[in-house]
Amino acid sequence: MSRFQQARFLISAAAPAQFPADSGAEVAFAGRSNAGKSSAINAIVKRHGLARTSKLPGRTRLLNFFELAPGKRLVDLPGYGYASAPESERLTWQPLIDALKARQCLRGLFLIVDVRRGVTAGDAGLIEWLDPAQRVHVLLSKADKLGRGEGLRTLRAASAQLEGRATVQLFSALNGAGVPEAQDVLVGWLA
């Protein structure tokens, strides 16, 4: 059964003025485009198609807010890493994520990383940009693509690379591996 039965889409914000009030608790989800972020959100929240909203044309560069329970929100950040993303787009959403970072209600960041790609310079840059006091949890997504041994080796390598700055786990939206663990972290942060 879903632990987030009341989950619902709130708003696609194009400007900080449209953000929900800075109260309660909020957790941000970020990752390179195609890392599996939308699939991860849907698997964790178990409301199929919830994060599809973020993929509607015109919404991919916006911050999409979902309410998981009263006063507890998830924020879906625009995917990054497309070399083709024009500078003008980046200039649109940089103020948005800067404003998000400044929110009192922000409890941490879930970073979705394709297990076959590992933590990239873009991922590391995002972690560095974040307040050092802010928690980061990395989901090594699409873990079903690797065998068990290889998955564990990748997990150890990512853990070493993150040097204690973030917690990290294997995750698969496809076969559900790591979903309860990710839910526990999210619920704990939002508590």
How many chain residues interact with ligand GDP (CB under 6 A)?
Answer: 16
Distance from CA of residue 26 to its chain's centroid?
A: 11
Q: How many helices (H) and strands (E) does the chain have?
A: 5, 7
135 binds ligand GDP (CB under 6 A): no
Which tokens in the block code for residue 68?
A: 């998981």
Using the rule CB under 6 A, give the single segment among 37-45, 89-97, 132-140, 151-159 that binds ligand GDP: 37-45
Task: State the nearest-atom distance from the C-beta of 2 to ligand GDP, in Å.
Answer: 18
Of 145, 150, 152, 156, which lies in the binding site for ligand GDP, with binding defined by CB under 6 A?
145
37 binds ligand GDP (CB under 6 A): yes
Using the rule CB under 6 A, give the single segment among 10-18, 32-40, 126-134, 152-160 that binds ligand GDP: 32-40
Determine the Cα–Cα distance for residues 12 and 9; give it in Å rounded to an integer.
9
62 binds ligand GDP (CB under 6 A): no
Buried (b) or exposed (e) across 72-108, using 16+ Cβ within 10 A? bbbbbbbbbbeeebeeeeeeebeebbebbeebebbbb
User: Which residue, 27 or 105, is less far from ligand GDP as judged by CB?
Assistant: 27
Name the DSSP class of 54: G
Binding region for ligand GDP (CB under 6 A)? 31, 33-39, 79, 141-142, 144-145, 172-174
